[in-house]
Every structure is written in C-alpha cells, then in structure tokens.
Amino acid sequence: MRYKRKVWRDCTVREWSEVALEARKAHRTVHMTRLFSIRVVKNSERPASDPRGKYKYSAVVCGHKVTDESWGAAQFQGIGSSPSSMAAGKLLDFYACLPGHGGQQADAEQAYIQADFTGTATWIMLPEEAWRKEWHGQCRCPVVRLEQSLYGHPDSGTRWAKHCDECLRKIGFEPVRGWDSVYYGKTSPTLRLSVYVDGFKLAGPKDQLSACWARIRRVIDLEDPEPFGQFLGCQHQRFNTNASIAHLPGATKETTHEHHGRHRPGVRNARLLSTGPPTIREPRADGNGTEAHI
C-alpha cells in the first residue's frame, strides 16, 4: 500500500506564465510554490545498530513561499488543526494498565498525502531532478497541479486532520467532548483512541485491539501496530513490579507504568501509580461540572 499515491500527474504540466496569465484574465486566484527534497537520517541520535535508524527522503512544499497569479503573497485561512495533547497520551497509558487491558500504537503511512488537496488550485514548480526528459529544452518553468495534501503546505495539516476525523467517524468512532483528537468506539465503548498528527495510540481490552486496528486500516493506511514504545519523544515501558504499593488504595501491579522522559531534565524512571478510572470534568450550566469516566 505504500507509495501508491500520485501527489501530482505529469500530464498536467504547463508553463507557469501561461497558468498565471489565464488566471488573471479570468479573475481567478491560483497559487504557485516550489517543491524541494530533503534527505535525513531518522533517529540519528540512536546507536548505529538500532534498526529504527534509517535514511528518509522526502519531497515537501516550500510553504513559506507561496505566491498567487500576480506574484503576490498567497493568503490562507490559517484554520489549523488540534492534535491530541500530552495529557491524552498519558491517559491512554493509564487506561492500558487496567486489568485485562493493553495498548498499541501505529503511525499512518505518508499521512498527509492520504488526504485530497482541496481549495485554491495550487501548482508546484518541480526541481530539475524531477523533470521528465522531454521537458528539458522545451519548458522554462514547468508546473504541475498539486492533487494531494503534501507536507509543507500551510493547509495540509488541516486537510489531513479533517480526512482522518471523517474516516474514523465512518467506522464508528466518536470524539470525546473536550478532548481534541481523542475518540471512543460507539460499537466498542471500552476502546479509546488518541491521534497526534500521524501517530495513533489505542488502548482498551486486549481481545478487542486487533479487530479495532483492522477496522481503522480499512480507511487509513497504517504501519503495523506495536506495543506502546516511543511516543512524542518519550520511551514508554509497561512492567510488573513487586514493590509494595499498599499505601495507595486500589493500586495493583497492573496499574504500574514506567515512563522514561527526556523532555523534562532530571525526571527519569518516574512511576505512575493509578488508583482508579481517569475522570473528565465537563462544564455544566451551573458551573459545578459533572464527572464522566473515560
């Protein structure tokens, strides 16, 4: 399933001068920007023997230089998206530690370009390394029509978030009120899903996780799920402990969770001991609020 999408089609190639002139005559707005490529070593901070270290080549939109048909700066709505919070991730860490529960995570494959590009027609100028042979000597400034929400465009994140939300609702997930990008299953109400951009984190009864991932993968391309591990720069590890925790009523071995945090200097191997279901306090008209277990 990977690399199957066409972000643009070579058959749409035109001279930018022609596209811009046509738009000005029709009093229609079009946008143009450049495409550039970057190659990096992902997880380069890890030992060379770590299998998670790999070369990654990406083609991205030059989002800070988008112009209109008159070479003026393009205007965007700037709606943005609302990924789940760090607190939501911690909540699922706890939820996965309840008796009989588990947690898994997976990343979307080439997330942004799973969403169609909508809105103002946008043309991209390709670097010469991406030109077809017949374009050389024939084109001065060839551009192609952008068809998928390529990374780097100011509105791509919003389009991906909308696409992801629509897909999840289609298979029976509903958003948790007051928690951005956190969902529960209408048909499987004991499952909880948190989405941070392209990172999916699922927690709930162990015997329901596989079937839930299968439903999600029918509408969103994902890598293979794996147990909770590195998420938002932090390494998570679930383990059993024989340490005495009798002073915390209701706490059990299954509700002990180890969190290696690199984002907070001096905090390491902190243990989160949970004593009951997490609670969401929702505002009420009288201002007192109501408590709902998630």
Supply the pLDDT for residue 263: 40
- The rounded Cα 253 to chain-centroid distance in angstroms is 32
d(CA 99, CA 53): 34
Task: Return mean pLDDT, the chain.
Answer: 77
Token digits of residue 86: 């760090």
Which tops the pLDDT comparison, 248 or 271? Answer: 271
Query: Is the confidence at residue 28, as pLDDT, over 90?
Result: yes
Supply the pLDDT for residue 206: 93
Supply the pLDDT for residue 152: 84
Query: Is the confidence at residue 249, as pLDDT, over 50?
Result: no
Average pLDDT for residues 117-143, to the nearest whole number? Answer: 87
d(CA 167, CA 172): 9
CATH numbers and ranges of domains, the chain = 1-75+118-152 (no CATH), 79-115+158-294 (3.30.70)
Query: Is the confidence at residue 283, as pLDDT, over 70?
Result: no
Average pLDDT for residues 60-83, to the nearest whole number? Answer: 80
DSSP string, 143-187: EEE--B--TTSTTHHHHHHHHHHHHHHHTTEEEPTTSTTEEEESS
Average pLDDT for residues 260-264, to the nearest whole number? Answer: 40
**Residues 151-204: tens digit of each pLDDT:** 888 888 889 999 999 999 999 999 998 888 899 888 888 899 999 888 899 999
* Residue pointed to by tokens 């991209």: 124
CA distance to 141, 263, 289, per residue, from 235 (Å): 46, 11, 35
**Residues 190-241: tens digit of each pLDDT:** 899 999 888 899 999 999 999 999 999 999 999 999 988 777 777 777 666 5
